[in-house]
Structure 1
Amino acid sequence: MTSELASTDGVDLDKETFLIDLIRGLSGTLQDLIGLEEASGMISVVGATIGKNLNDQYRREFKTDKMNIDQVCHALVDLKKRIDGGFRVSEVTGNTIVLVNSACPFGKAVIGRKSMCMMTSNVFGKIAAENLGYARVELEETIAQGDPGCRVVIRLAPSESLDAIDGREYFREDD
């Protein structure tokens, strides 16, 4: 090894960039090999596990066995803020929570990788359902599909009239 190595300052690599590239590559490979729906399902399994872990942490932080709707909203926004997401609660009405987002934690790497949005759906759905009894998460707009931001609607009560709407249902497991 010589002592006169070229500078590596131009290499754009750090742990965060590496992990985002890894997740993007895995999700893209899954989407290409088994299709969007199946890839989303696989990512959903990981999201459910992460959602359970985060739910447990927020419950401990709030010193409660079940968070109320205000605590759930705070947890959803807080967890995304901690990973550089730009989520905020847009409205809470009756049995609906609407969140909007201006920045994806995965940055531009999410574009074209709709399956990565299952992480948000599952984490949000798991936390909402475990605390409020039920959640149907609808990803109405996403940065991944080319929208300028995200709009996530969480319905807290089942409705037959919503069957035609894309969304994923989550049910309480902790009883």
Structure 2
Amino acid sequence: MDWLLTPGSGASAAALRAEVTAFLRRHAEQPDDVDDARLVVSELVGNAVHHAGGPVWVSLDWSQPRPLLTVHDLGPAFELGGLSLPETASERGRGLWLVSQLAKDLDVIAKRGPGKRVQVVLALTRRAEASFDPPRRQLNPLPAADEAGPGGFGKEAFLRALVVELARSTEAAQGPAVAEQLVAQVGATVGGQMEEEYRQARAVAGRLTPEQVADCYLRLKGAIEGDFYVISAGPDKIVLGNRHCPFGDTVRQAPALCRMTSSVFGGIAARNHDDAVVLLDERIAVGDPECRVTVLLGEAARTNPGGHHYRAAP
């Protein structure tokens, strides 16, 4: 789940805290245990709003038994140091010390450009159930009026709007789990066709090597005006960077669209290496200056518990 908080104000932070807390309460195994998590959310979001200014993105990854909460902002990073209970008269440092007592693995990670992400593992476990939790929307990610030319909106703006609104409408009607499945299926299907085009263009038969898989990624993303490049490609994993999202600035208002990249990359990798895991390590969608995507292959994917998992069809 991803939320965008803008503008950064006390009122909007309180509304976001209430929504994240409600999500946790709906899906926690013990709803009465959510109060500590609510304080953690409140402190981290409040700090981002107070010290960073600008947009704040909140991500919650509950693919593991305990949820990982990440708060992204564009403010300066800082060192945690040794957290201890501040002096009684001190007005600073209490929030992070409290977070460190109520949750685990508190960490501050500087982005490669301006900004940071603060992440922590919440002391909750999730019930085994489907999720139906449409996030609130404050911004419209559809094309702005100034994108139109003399004859109206162009094909690119229209198709982008179509994809975004289909995903949003599905999410509103049936929940983000269904929307995510839809986006993943679309990405896998389109990725399969793009792989076939790559094979014809390069005259490749049989399984693609990791280097060929990476080359296929660059070809298909370049065709839709992404700016991906290969950082490394080996037998166990492929690491890519990206300087420009095909969805443009829209993706900062709809971070869930990153799942499209995940499913395209994961589907191609799994078809050629049986199993794949895609890790979205950095995302333009949450304020990072570039994207960084790691694709684990074969045994490395099977033994990795996180990320988006993909398996070749029988």
Q: Deviations over 1:130-172 (max 9, x none)?
A: 1223211111222223322211110013457631x2x111122
Aligned equivalents of 1:146 and 1:29: distance in 2?
25
Answer yes or no: is the 8 Å Cα contact 1:47–1:122 preserved in 2: yes
- Decide which of 288, 301, 304 is 1:162's aligned counterpart: 304
- Decide which of 167, 184, 201 is 1:44's aligned counterpart: 184
TM-score, normalised by the number of residues in structure 2? 0.48
Answer yes or no: is the 8 Å Cα contact 1:140–1:153 preserved in 2: yes
1:173 aligns with 2:307: no
1:98 is paired with a residue whose SS is: strand
Query: 1:12–1:103: structure 2 CA closer, same or farther, 3 Å change rule?
Result: farther
- Decide which of 191, 194, 197 is 1:57's aligned counterpart: 197
Larger RCO of the pair (alpha carbons < 8 Å, separation 6+): 1
Query: 1:134–1:10: structure 2 CA closer, same or farther, 3 Å change rule?
Result: same
Q: Deviations over 1:19-63 (max 9, x none)?
A: 112222222333344343331111111111111111222222232
Answer yes or no: is the 8 Å Cα contact 1:137–1:169 preserved in 2: yes
Query: 1:141–1:34: structure 2 CA closer, same or farther, 3 Å change rule?
Result: farther
1:128 aligns with 2:269: yes
Residues 80-159 of structure 1: pairs in structure 2 closer than 5 A? 80-158=221-299
Aligned equivalents of 1:28 and 1:168: distance in 2?
21
TM-aligned CA deviation for residue 118 of structure 1: 1.7
TM-aligned CA deviation for residue 92 of structure 1: 2.4
Answer yes or no: is the 8 Å Cα contact 2:213–2:269 preserved in 1: yes
The AA in structure 1 aligned to 2:312 is R
Higher helix share: 1
User: Which one has a bigger Cα radius of gyration?
Assistant: 2
Is there any run of 5+ residues in structure 1 with no aligned partner, and where? 1-7
User: 1:30 matched to which residue of 2?
Assistant: 170
The AA in structure 1 aligned to 2:245 is C
Answer yes or no: is the 8 Å Cα contact 2:210–2:235 preserved in 1: no
Q: Deviations over 1:85-138 (max 9, x none)?
A: 011111224401111111011111222323211211111111111122321111
The AA in structure 2 aligned to 1:162 is N
User: 2:141 matched to which residue of 1?
Assistant: none
The AA in structure 1 aligned to 2:221 is K
2:233 is paired with a residue whose SS is: strand
Aligned equivalents of 1:142 and 1:43: distance in 2?
17
TM-aligned CA deviation for residue 13 of structure 1: 1.6
TM-score, normalised by the number of residues in structure 1? 0.82
